[in-house]
Amino acid sequence: MKYILSLAAIGTLLLGISTARAQTEVSLLVPNPFRGTLNKVVPGFESKSGYKVKVTYGKGMGTRQQVARGEMFDVSILLPPYPEALASGNIDPKSATVLASLVLGFGVKKDAPAPDISTPAALTRALRAAKSIAYVDPAVGSDGFATHESLQELGILDQIGSKTKLVPTARAAADAVIAGEAEICIFYLNEMENRGIEIVGRLPEQFANPEEVVAFISTHATDPKAAKALVDYLSSPDAEAGYKADRLEPAR
């Protein structure tokens, strides 16, 4: 009888440990343009807090739709605009926390001549002179949407339309340049990690506004305390150092 009771006690203890572990997991939704940077920051949170982070990745534009249609995550990181996500009631607007900002970069094939892009006028000349330009399809990815908006603001979109190569991802834009299928590529600087690409610089801020990366806590968070701890860490000086190292613009 004592043996049976002992087994029952052990079973209860193990169940309690399992439940406790499950409660320490924080689910996080991350847009792909922020993926590489986030992967470098999360381990610091896990080691300091004791919480585990379960990360789900999605497209920059698609993550907004995931939240809007009710896919549940304790914390969601979104790129604007996201009116449908806010209107869904699935994220708490008051929890909105700007983590950093993505900036658009201009790349060429490694060892290729680097044009001057330091001013809008210089960038305009470089784009006009380029034989081909690769960037993400604005209907597919947030970097493409931001690039399209910036080129439109610059007033050159119609002039370069015939030599534009739209691709599904930032990696594909880099690959197109490396393969000689495009002369230049434009996408977020923190994603320009391909060794075959030479980073010329960021697009002038006068027309290429940085894209805010914003974290929200779910209104259905399994553990609101853990969710807030994650957001607090992602907006902390420790995380900010990682963002700067990855060529993002800090929130402060």
- Quick one: how far is CA 151 from the chain centroid? 21
Whether residue 110 sits in one domain with residue 79: no
Whether residue 189 sits in one domain with residue 124: yes
Tally of domains in the chain: 2
Model confidence, pTM:
0.85
pLDDT at 194: 80
Which CATH number is 171's domain given?
3.40.190.10
pLDDT at 251: 86
pLDDT at 195: 83
Name the phi and psi angles at 115, rounded to 5: -75, 160
Enumerate residues 6+ apart whose C-beta is below 8 A from 175: 194
Whether residue 189 sits in one domain with residue 138: yes
pLDDT at 58: 93
Whether residue 92 sits in one domain with residue 173: no
Whether residue 109 sits in one domain with residue 94: no
Whether residue 179 sits in one domain with residue 157: yes
Q: In a structure prediction context, what are the per-residue pLDDT tens digits for the chain, which is 252 residues long? A: 444 444 444 444 444 444 444 448 999 999 999 999 999 999 999 999 999 999 999 988 899 999 999 999 999 999 999 999 999 999 999 999 999 999 999 999 999 999 999 999 999 999 999 999 999 999 988 999 999 999 999 999 999 989 999 999 999 999 999 999 999 999 999 999 888 999 999 999 888 989 999 999 999 999 999 999 999 999 999 999 999 999 999 887
> Which of 55, 53, 58 is CA-nearest to residue 32?
58
- Do residues 162 and 184 lie in contact, with contact meaning Cβ atoms separated by under 8 Å? no
Q: Distance between CA 207 and CA 211 in Å, rounded?
A: 12
Whether residue 115 sits in one domain with residue 186: yes
At 27, which helix (H) or strand (E)? Answer: strand 25-31
Whether residue 233 sits in one domain with residue 108: no
Domain hosting 34: range is: 2-101+211-250
> Which of 240, 222, 250, 217 is CA-nearest to residue 29?
217
- Do residues 194 and 57 lie in contact, with contact meaning Cβ atoms separated by under 8 Å? no
Whether residue 186 sits in one domain with residue 156: yes
Whether residue 116 sits in one domain with residue 93: no
Q: What one-character-per-residue DSSP string does 188-201 give?
A: EGGG---TTEEEEE
Q: Distance between CA 150 and CA 219 in Å, rounded?
A: 34
pLDDT at 7: 45
The one-letter code for the residue type at 162 is S
Whether residue 97 sits in one domain with residue 20: yes
Whether residue 221 sits in one domain with residue 178: no
- Do residues 59 and 31 lie in contact, with contact meaning Cβ atoms separated by under 8 Å? yes
